[in-house]
Amino acid sequence: MAVEIYTKVTCGFCMRAKMLLEHKQVQYTEIKIDTDTALREKMIKRSKGAYTVPQIFINDHHVGGCDDLYALHAQNRLDTLLQE
């Protein structure tokens, strides 16, 4: 399982998303886009136009942002996605 999360340092939603992943003991790769426009452009392309952070990918599946991650968790679908 590979989890990637694009973030900015001062982003509260990024912190919330990482807290949920850490609570679930999920290892993830954090990609900080604060000062790297190339990484930001890559994120936008991968997410098909989403430019806000966080943008979360699980096994190359675009989950979306923090609210989307918490919605999957509330629907009991996050664990299933993490186990694929």
The CATH number given to whatever domain includes residue 37 is: 3.40.30.10
Full-model pTM: 0.95
Q: What torsion do the CA atoms of 48, 63, 27, 15 make, to the nearest 10 degrees?
A: 90
Tokens representing 8? 């900015």
Number of domains in the chain: 1
Mean pLDDT for back-to-back runs of 10 residues, the chain (84 residues)? 95 98 97 96 97 96 97 96 90
Domain that holds residue 47: 3-65+75-83
Q: Does residue 70 belong to any structural domain of this protein?
A: no
